[in-house]
Amino acid sequence: MAIIINLDVEMAKRKVGLTELAGEIDITLANLSILKNNKAKAVRLTTLDAICKALDCQPGDILQYVPDKEDSGE
């Protein structure tokens, strides 16, 4: 997938643990872990909003577009 979720990087920068963030944004540990490990196929905007508020960051700090090699003609 061309969208990379860098939630683990932002959490590490702010020294925030999975359990702490999950409690703060009211999401299950399992669902937050899926996001953190870049296994998610979708993310709700309300969840992204809550993460950005909790980590005091922008969506672009968490989401990154990296073209697939098949898409770039390589």
**pLDDT, tens digit, for every residue of 5-41?**
999 999 999 999 999 999 999 999 999 999 999 999 9
Domain housing 32 = 3-65
Count other Cβ atoms within 10 Å, centred on residue 8: 15
Residue 73 lies in a domain: no
**Alpha-carbon torsion angle 33, 11, 51, 60, nearest 10:** -110
Report the domain count for the chain.
Answer: 1
Which pLDDT belongs to residue 1? 64
Residue 33 lies in a domain: yes
Which pLDDT belongs to residue 71? 57
Percent of the chain residues past pLDDT 90, beyond the cut:
86
pTM: 0.85
Residue 36 lies in a domain: yes
Separation between Cα atoms, residue 45 and residue 49, nearest integer Å: 6
CATH number (domain holding residue 42): 1.10.260.40
Count other Cβ atoms within 10 Å, centred on residue 15: 7
